[in-house]
Amino acid sequence: MALIQWEQNIASSAAKAWSVFSDFGEFLVWNKLDVGMEVTGEGIGMVRTLVIEGFGRVGERLDVLDQDTLSQHYTLVEGEPLGMQTYSAKIQIKPVDEQNCCIYWEGTFTVASDTDEAKVGKSLLGSYQGMSSSLAAYVTNT
């Protein structure tokens, strides 16, 4: 199992960043991907399915939403994005001071034996960087 981590500072209070990020079903509000999305259920156990043209469906199930630690965990339940057979993520918004916070990503994944794990890890890291920048831009401009 491979591990990828990313951390990025955001010029926003942790409370504001968390209020946006914690809404699992509103992922496309702040992350301006050009994809479709379906949401099934509510709260813990809900599934958001991204429908990506030419790529297929990618379903993620919300496993943990912790308001006290400002953390969220989700697991891949449909598709094999970037070549991952299994994938789970833990994300936390960490307060730095009253005006700034940090978003921390941690993802673990496995790939098929014929898939380059390092290449998948690099792509996943790029996804974390892009999502962090999108969240930062959204919370600082709203």
- Rounded CA-CA distance 15/106 in Å is 20
In this predicted structure, what is the pLDDT of residue 112? Answer: 85
In this predicted structure, what is the pLDDT of residue 70? Answer: 98
Contacts of 68 (CB under 8 A, 6+ apart): none
Domains of the chain: 2-141 (3.30.530.20)
Burial of residue 2 (number of CB atoms within 10 Å: 0-12, 13-18, 19+): middle
User: Over 90: is that where the pLDDT of 17 sits?
Assistant: yes
In this predicted structure, what is the pLDDT of residue 23? Answer: 95
Q: Which of 115-124 are b and which e, b meaning 16 or more Cβ less than 10 Å from the residue's Cβ?
A: eebeebbeeb
Which element (helix H / strand E) includes 16? helix 14-21
